[in-house]
Amino acid sequence: MGDPNVEKGNTTMRKIALFAAAAGAALSLAACSESTQDAAGDTVDSAAADTEANMDAMGQAVEESANDVEVAADNAAAEADQEAAEVEADVQDESVTEAQAD
């Protein structure tokens, strides 16, 4: 049989080599994981920026629509006032200008 000290040394070297391989694999996985986390963080940041830009665009569109509605309501009110003055002028036998003054 072989020398027990040599066999013990081989076993110790195997353990060291195994530990080194396991440590290398762990570091590789950790680096990969960090890279994946960075990419995921970048994706989240990009999505947040896109969402903010879309919300700004929506806010502008809503504001423009509100302004359009206000203008349309003002026009409808003016037309209603004009028609009411015309009806009053016909009923009271006066001019539209006189009816609007009343």
pLDDT 10s digits, 12-31: 777 788 878 888 777 776 66
pLDDT 10s digits, 70-81: 999 999 999 999
Q: How far apart are CA 27 and CA 19, in angstroms?
A: 12
Which residues have a Cβ under 8 Å from the Cβ of 82 and sit 6 or more positions away?
Answer: 96
Q: How far apart are CA 42 and CA 51, in angstroms?
A: 14
pLDDT 10s digits, 28-53: 766 667 777 788 888 989 999 999 99
